[in-house]
């Protein structure tokens, strides 16, 4: 099930909401768990991609040639 991350515009706390894609498409009513405000916005964070190869995980799209970001 997808996990959505939100941030409250009033108290600035961040929290996650677990909902199906169908629930999200219908329009979730999300309120802040700390202060109860409905002034929340969805925020996006990085994702990790895990492959079945022995390299472990890569972040984002991997390394660009000559980028030097991976070991």
59 lies in a domain? no
22 lies in a domain? yes
67 lies in a domain? no
57 lies in a domain? no
What pLDDT does 32 receive? 96
CATH code assigned at 21? 2.20.28
54 lies in a domain? no
CB-based contacts of 32: which residues, under 8 Å, 6+ apart? 6, 8, 10, 11, 13, 15, 38, 39, 40
29 lies in a domain? yes
- Which residue has better confidence, 65 or 23? 23
What pLDDT does 53 receive? 65
Domain range for 32 is: 3-44
3-state helix, strand, coil in the chain (%, to 5): 10, 30, 60
Quick one: pLDDT band at residue 28, thresholds 50, 70, 90? confident
8 lies in a domain? yes
How many domains would you assign to the chain?
1
Partners of 3 in the β-ladder: 18
């Amino acid at each position: 099930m997808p996990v959505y991350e939100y941030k409250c515009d009033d108290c600035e706390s961040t929290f996650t909401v677990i909902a199906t894609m169908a629930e999200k498409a219908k329009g979730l009513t999300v309120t802040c768990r700390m202060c109860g405000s409905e002034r929340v916005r969805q925020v996006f964070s990085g994702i990790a991609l895990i492959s079945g190869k022995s390299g472990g995980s890569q972040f984002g799209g991997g390394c660009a040639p000559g980028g030097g970001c991976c070991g």
